[in-house]
Structure 1
Amino acid sequence: MTDTVPPLRALISVSDKTGLIEFATALAGRGVELLSTGGTAKALRDAGLPVRDVAEVTGFPEMMDGRVKTLHPKVHGGLLALRDNPEHLAAMEAHGIGAIDLLVVNLYPFEATVASGADYDTCIENIDIGGPAMIRAAAKNHAFVAVVVDPEDYADVLAELAANGGTKLAFRQRLARTAYARTAAYDAAVSAWMVQAHDDPAPRRRAFAGVMKQRMRYGENPHQDAAFYVDGSGRPGVATATQHQGKELSYNNINDTDAAFELVAEFAPGDGPACAIIKHANPCGVARGATLLDAYRKAFDCDRTSAFGGIVALNQPLDAATAEEIVKIFTEVVIAPEADEAARAIFATKRNLRLLTTGALPDARAPVTAFKQVAGGFLVQDKDTGQIDPEELRVVTKRAPTSAELADLRFAWTVAKHVKSNAIIYVRDGATVGVGAGQMSRVDSSTMAALKAGRMGTELGLPETPAKGSVVASDAFFPFADGLLAAAEAGATAVIQPGGSVRDDEVIAAADAAGLAMVFTGMRHFRH
């Protein structure tokens, strides 16, 4: 195995021609012979660089619309031959195979083609075959061959050549790791597209891939290593956002910001301003308002204590009035579709506040594949995009909810989808006034949410708890009447829940006795 390999021949075939001419010019300047194909060869010639067509080397023309051009022993032999193996060298000599020391390939833009909404046949034509085959061959033979799959590595290759006169083994090993990750991600993208295109929700084999966007200082805790990867789907959110100011996002910042933005995206901008404030992945306040400022204030007043150091998500562009209010307390991150210049100027005075803009809201109804790791495997499911049709709500009590109660019940049900189970949410006048999350007992969630509402009522100087006259959402059915009765004792007047318990009749009777209106959705929103 040779440590330093000076490249004598390079095969370059790229769809992304970013930095191509500068890189190839530098290689040619070092005396490297350039081999190429199709559009890449044309680009090199147009730049005045000497280049040989692969067809000239193989003796076969490109054929079948370019599907067959590099799949040939004179290419793969040049990539795979062990330079210290006498039999390999003899075979190269006998068959006129020249060594290829450097392979520069980036693949057909399959991911971008799918993202553009192209039809099935166009996507199929953008599945690269020769490129991955060459990349895998060169990466396998990294003892002698350097393989480059990202234009971002061009500068590092040139620096390596300048420093050492060739590529060192450790450098080629690093390139090989990147190369195999790229072909794995490419195959994963093709597989995921086919799963969707062929409507196969549970394929026998499943692949996931991503590109690292950020190496992090640490994960959830300082002793954990972490990195942030993006999947290329283009879904608006923290992965695609522009960060205008503030220090680098942490692992927990990203997790919480995603939770906040996905929640606020439930409320279309055209339906009015909405705000969600998140702490530790759970909402501590969600509200709709006449203005964005109004929505923020109502969300903040749900739990001012927890909002300190939280994440604020908005469904409309951030304006100056709302920005002025937000900076009155310490906030980790604000994410919105956009922010006007006046708002940005206000935030600029707070160096540690991160401002993210996304250009759009994610579609809360669009299908998304969600997965989580467990020991030895992955759990895969559709993201919870469940919506309720008001016409399908079933009134199960003697009293039906009023129109105002019904509006708040629907709002509370939407928020419940984003609260850790067991989840109980108190809502009044389009704003949460108490959130009970993550308790092992549903009655504990009811009690906790009521206690928080009472505490905030005292802090705000209200004459009574804001839970009085509120409505309540439960993410799953009440297994006993105790949780519902705790809500009634707190002052709630109406309840929305899935129903489906063997004790539904008992719970309905308790609701009737307490004078509550209750509706069943027939849909559960567990969130673990």
Structure 2
Amino acid sequence: MPTQRIRRALIAVYDKTGIANFARALVDEFDFEIISTGGTAKHLKDAGIPVTIVEEVTGFPELLDGRVKTLHPKIHAGILADRDNPEHMRQLAEHGIQPIDMVVVNLYPFEKTVADPACKFEDAIEMIDIGGPCMLRAAAKNHRHVLPVLATEWALDAVLRHLRGQLDEDSVRFRAKLAGRCFLRTRGYDGHVGDYLLLQSLDSPVSPSEQAFALFTCLLLTKISDLRYGENAHQRAAYQRYFEQSTPFDSAFDSSTPTNTSFNNLIDADAARGLCAELARSINPAQRAAGDQRAAGDQRAAGFSPRGQLNAGASPLAPPTIGDPTWLLTWTTYGTWLPGDPRGYVSRTPTESGTHEIFNAPGQPYSTDQPELSEAAKDRMDGEPVLLDARHAAAASDAFMKAAAAHNIRLVAYAIMPNHVHVLCQATQNGPELLRLFKGVSSRRLGQAFSLASSPRWWTKSGSTRHLKPGDDPTAAIDYVCEQLNSLLVRCFDGRRNKGAIRSDSKAARAKARGSIGEIDRALEKNKAARAEARGSLPEARGSLAVVCFIKHTNACGVGVADDPAEAYRRAYLGDPNAAMGGILAVNFPVTADFAAMVMETYDRLGKPLRESGAPHAPGGFFVEVWIAPSFENAAVEIIRGATRAPTGESNAESPGSALSARPKKKWGENVRLLAVGDLSQPPATDELVYRSIAGGMLVQTADTVGLNEDLWEVVTKRRPTDSEMSDLRLAWLIAKHTKSNAISLCKDGMLIGNGAGQMSRIMSCRIATWLARENGHADKLAGSVAASDAFFPFADGPNILIDAGVTAIIQPGGSKRDEDVIHACDERGVAMIFTGTRHFKH
């Protein structure tokens, strides 16, 4: 328990997540007096929590548009007074100042504000927090007497548990931890502000979003654990994560992990998660339904395809589902709707309730006439404004539909006007990523069909991305899009609202549309439950296919994709059973007891039969160092650890569960690190930076997030790949992306059969990939296999080695001076080849 009485808390937060519940607990459980400022005080009062407004404490109103609120002796003396110093306490009493015992603050989101390409200098300046850092630093300095709380989810929960006496940590150490976190946060915050202002001092000032990399970088890392050693036993190592951020590997250091995870384990685990997540994101969700209709023995049909590709003929226009991420995207044509426009525009005005006041929500007013802004924008224009006509709208609409189908985006409705566009859609991608996609594909389509004689581009650089909250009824947003005035073209899942069709605007029709959404949701849930019951207890992978990867020294040595997790696992393991031993295992589905039992019997079921048959590639045993999955059932963990035997019922393993249960537990199961990393199909962070240390500094680059960007792919040979070859080409291309350069990856029937990794010459990678395929018993699979190369072939010698081995389709970036020689070599032998236009070097 804390050793002193805490009576008064000052709460002033920008992000108000969880703050009302926290304050209510302080008042109800501990009889706190809450002091608060402006927006926070209103938020707490609206929640029924008694609040003393800071002006009542200081005797001064807020000054300078809120810039001065808490910068007052009655606040800072109350925070900084040393309770053990009689002179300090006498001075407080003399001036009528009451001590403040807790400070709860989070800061203006300066970093997020300046990351917005539309951020103006004035916006950035107003987002520099002054009072918040001052109070945090004061409370942190005096943490022996004042609890300094940087208001995050972790801190709010920890403080309540501390007050309730539920923490093992003593009060002195806990307060020091809170103080240290406050100083780390203000140090990083000041670094971002300083970097922004230094950017403005350049001869040609640029925004942080345009700069991409900071002039000065302050990386705040928190040590989570020491490691046994580094890459080698004589090297020391530790695991550190970014301050105030969780990572997929936090579970490697919790109490459920029996031994300390090693440096090499984490490097390989990161590679395994990266590849498995890439494949999980790229799977087409519609493929599950198609797979349900296949003949039971048709394993080859269970191919790999990108999201949306299998049902390319189906319209991506579809009713929204309640709960899925929903985005309302808006952008304008070049030069037609400028800031300050009297018709209204999206304001970027910072407020206490958010970085920008949102005026473009249906039913809310816009910011209006500010002619000086319009004139300034006109002065910056490089050409004439762009106005669309019906032909342009039809071309853009075609681009929207194709992009949505290719990227698994549900188009709810969109409207194209002469000077702006609205798109209402649902997708796993975030709003800015969707905005870039739709603007990019439509701009490219328009540029192919029409010319811009006197304008630099079709669209403005920026746009609006409004996220509807999960559970919100999307009807108002649908109405907003479909009822735009002067629309050239409207498309909606409800065809009655399409431009040119008879439109029903009655309340009854809208109610019917809302009802249909609910019916669709209920049908989906019913179908999902039925499929789960039919499949028994084996896991269903998110999306459509199960993905299984084995990684050794950061490279894939086995990858399998299939409708059935057991089949996907068999393909991955048999890809290279010797390399799989002692590697990292990653799957894209929750691990059940049946699947765990099957993996624990890998050597008995799959490895030992190879040895008994005299196969030259037979392994001598099996274990894995790390096992990655979205989650592990408790029963699965017990089986892996050997606490219980396998289930006694039938399973999808080749042997019945009763036979498995009779076998002894495996020693490696006691030591394997089980990492539950959450949903692997989520899109990658678009703003992630990758750091690499070199002598005296760091190299920094953006992450390689380009996957199956098939809009840019080109078949350059006379023969096009078959459907089955395309499926394997996609799989091979993504594996090659995650393989050390020079990389050549061979696939057949949803399975990696040979991976030539990390060679100094590309021709050697070709030789190793084909040799490994033969060495591991896949000589028969080489005929009709496909190959991916992470970079271009400088000569035709590499492709000739692959073709001699039986490869019939190749995918590579292209770009060599001798591309024509390589294409000719393929054409001569009837081999299909795709140029992707994207290189994936990995060093």
Establish whether TM, by shorter chain, passes 0.5.
yes
Alpha carbons of 1:242 and 1:358: their partners in 2 closer, same or farther (altered >3 Å)?
farther
Query: 2: CA distance between counterparts of 1:20 and 1:190?
Result: 30
Letter in 2 for 1:71: L
Listed as ranges, the matches of 1:171-186 within 5 Å are: 176-185=179-188
SS of alignment partner, residue 782 of structure 2: coil
- Shift in Å at residue 339 of structure 1? 4.3
Alpha carbons of 1:59 and 1:298: their partners in 2 closer, same or farther (altered >3 Å)?
same
Alpha carbons of 1:475 and 1:192: their partners in 2 closer, same or farther (altered >3 Å)?
farther
Listed as ranges, the matches of 1:375-390 within 5 Å are: 375=694, 376-390=696-710
- Does the alignment pair 1:346 with 2:639? yes
From 813, 816, 821, the equivalent of 1:498 is 813
Query: 2: CA distance between counterparts of 1:65 and 1:247?
Result: 56
From 723, 745, 753, the equivalent of 1:425 is 745
- Shift in Å at residue 477 of structure 1? 0.6
Alpha carbons of 1:41 and 1:390: their partners in 2 closer, same or farther (altered >3 Å)?
closer
From 563, 575, 598, the equivalent of 1:290 is 563
Letter in 2 for 1:70: T
Alpha carbons of 1:243 and 1:273: their partners in 2 closer, same or farther (altered >3 Å)?
farther
- Give the gaps of 5 or more residues in structure 1: 115-119
Listed as ranges, the matches of 1:103-252 within 5 Å are: 104-107=103-106, 129-139=130-140, 147=148, 149=150, 150=155, 152=158, 176-185=179-188, 199-200=209-210, 202=212, 204-205=214-215, 207=217, 212=222, 214-218=224-228, 220-221=230-231, 223-229=235-241, 237-238=248-249, 245-247=256-258, 250=261, 251-252=263-264
- Does the alignment pair 1:479 with 2:794? yes
Query: 1: CA distance between counterparts of 2:564 and 2:103?
Result: 54
- Shift in Å at residue 153 of structure 1? 6.7
Letter in 2 for 1:333: V
In the alignment of these two chains, the number of paired residues is: 496
SS of alignment partner, residue 270 of structure 1: coil
- Does the alignment pair 1:414 with 2:734? yes
Query: 1: CA distance between counterparts of 2:194 and 2:273?
Result: 28
Alpha carbons of 1:35 and 1:69: their partners in 2 closer, same or farther (altered >3 Å)?
farther
Contact 1:184 1:209 in 2 (8 A): no
Alpha carbons of 1:391 and 1:209: their partners in 2 closer, same or farther (altered >3 Å)?
closer
Listed as ranges, the matches of 1:359-370 within 5 Å are: 359-364=678-683, 367-370=686-689
After superposition, the C-alpha distances for 1:301-333 in whole angstroms (9 at most, x for unaligned) are 111122122222222333444322322332233
Query: 1: CA distance between counterparts of 2:787 and 2:623?
Result: 30
Alpha carbons of 1:190 and 1:453: their partners in 2 closer, same or farther (altered >3 Å)?
farther
Corresponding residue for residue 627 of structure 2: 334
Corresponding residue for residue 488 of structure 1: 803
Contact 2:732 2:747 in 1 (8 A): yes
Query: 2: CA distance between counterparts of 1:8 and 1:364?
Result: 44
- Shift in Å at residue 104 of structure 1? 3.4
- State which drifts further: 63-72 or 496-505: 63-72
Query: 1: CA distance between counterparts of 2:27 and 2:780?
Result: 71
From 714, 717, 728, the equivalent of 1:397 is 717
After superposition, the C-alpha distances for 1:406-464 in whole angstroms (9 at most, x for unaligned) are 2211211121111121111011111111112222222222222222222211xxxx6x3
- Shift in Å at residue 295 of structure 1? 0.8
- Give the gaps of 5 or more residues in structure 2: 114-118, 200-206, 284-541, 602-621, 643-668
Contact 1:35 1:54 in 2 (8 A): no
Alpha carbons of 1:244 and 1:397: their partners in 2 closer, same or farther (altered >3 Å)?
farther
Corresponding residue for residue 322 of structure 1: 595
Query: 2: CA distance between counterparts of 1:67 and 1:385?
Result: 41
- Shift in Å at residue 130 of structure 1? 2.5
Query: 1: CA distance between counterparts of 2:102 and 2:162?
Result: 15
Corresponding residue for residue 300 of structure 1: 573
- Shift in Å at residue 98 of structure 1? 5.5
After superposition, the C-alpha distances for 1:451-493 in whole angstroms (9 at most, x for unaligned) are 2222211xxxx6x364343211000011233333332343322
Contact 2:252 2:673 in 1 (8 A): no
Contact 1:499 1:520 in 2 (8 A): yes
- Shift in Å at residue 260 of structure 1? 1.9
Contact 2:548 2:587 in 1 (8 A): yes
- Shift in Å at residue 382 of structure 1? 3.1
After superposition, the C-alpha distances for 1:130-187 in whole angstroms (9 at most, x for unaligned) are 322212244467899874544547888999xxx99x96xx998765433211224566
From 239, 251, 259, the equivalent of 2:271 is 259
Contact 1:142 1:172 in 2 (8 A): yes
Alpha carbons of 1:35 and 1:295: their partners in 2 closer, same or farther (altered >3 Å)?
closer
Query: 1: CA distance between counterparts of 2:781 and 2:226?
Result: 41
SS of alignment partner, residue 271 of structure 2: helix
Query: 1: CA distance between counterparts of 2:640 and 2:65?
Result: 54
- Does the alignment pair 1:444 with 2:455? no
Query: 2: CA distance between counterparts of 1:186 and 1:493?
Result: 55
Letter in 1 for 2:103: V
Alpha carbons of 1:173 and 1:448: their partners in 2 closer, same or farther (altered >3 Å)?
same
Query: 2: CA distance between counterparts of 1:155 and 1:339?
Result: 28
Query: 1: CA distance between counterparts of 2:92 and 2:812?
Result: 77
Corresponding residue for residue 69 of structure 1: 69
Alpha carbons of 1:346 and 1:507: their partners in 2 closer, same or farther (altered >3 Å)?
same
After superposition, the C-alpha distances for 1:11-31 in whole angstroms (9 at most, x for unaligned) are 643766688799999999xxx
Letter in 2 for 1:60: F
Query: 2: CA distance between counterparts of 1:474 and 1:386?
Result: 15
Query: 2: CA distance between counterparts of 1:401 and 1:26?
Result: 69
Contact 2:195 2:214 in 1 (8 A): no
- State which drifts further: 400-409 or 61-70: 61-70
SS of alignment partner, residue 508 of structure 1: helix
Listed as ranges, the matches of 1:2-41 within 5 Å are: 12-13=10-11, 36-37=35-36
- Shift in Å at residue 386 of structure 1? 1.5
Alpha carbons of 1:439 and 1:271: their partners in 2 closer, same or farther (altered >3 Å)?
same
Query: 1: CA distance between counterparts of 2:105 and 2:683?
Result: 34
After superposition, the C-alpha distances for 1:49-92 in whole angstroms (9 at most, x for unaligned) are 9x98754542225679987532223333555689999xx98x97
The alignment's C-alpha RMSD in Å is 5.2
Contact 1:442 1:483 in 2 (8 A): yes
After superposition, the C-alpha distances for 1:255-282 in whole angstroms (9 at most, x for unaligned) are 3333223322234333322212222222
Query: 1: CA distance between counterparts of 2:226 and 2:23?
Result: 30
Query: 2: CA distance between counterparts of 1:48 and 1:367?
Result: 39
Alpha carbons of 1:472 and 1:203: their partners in 2 closer, same or farther (altered >3 Å)?
closer
Letter in 2 for 1:13: I
Alpha carbons of 1:241 and 1:107: their partners in 2 closer, same or farther (altered >3 Å)?
farther
Contact 1:107 1:128 in 2 (8 A): no
Corresponding residue for residue 117 of structure 1: none
Query: 1: CA distance between counterparts of 2:216 and 2:566?
Result: 45
Alpha carbons of 1:10 and 1:192: their partners in 2 closer, same or farther (altered >3 Å)?
farther
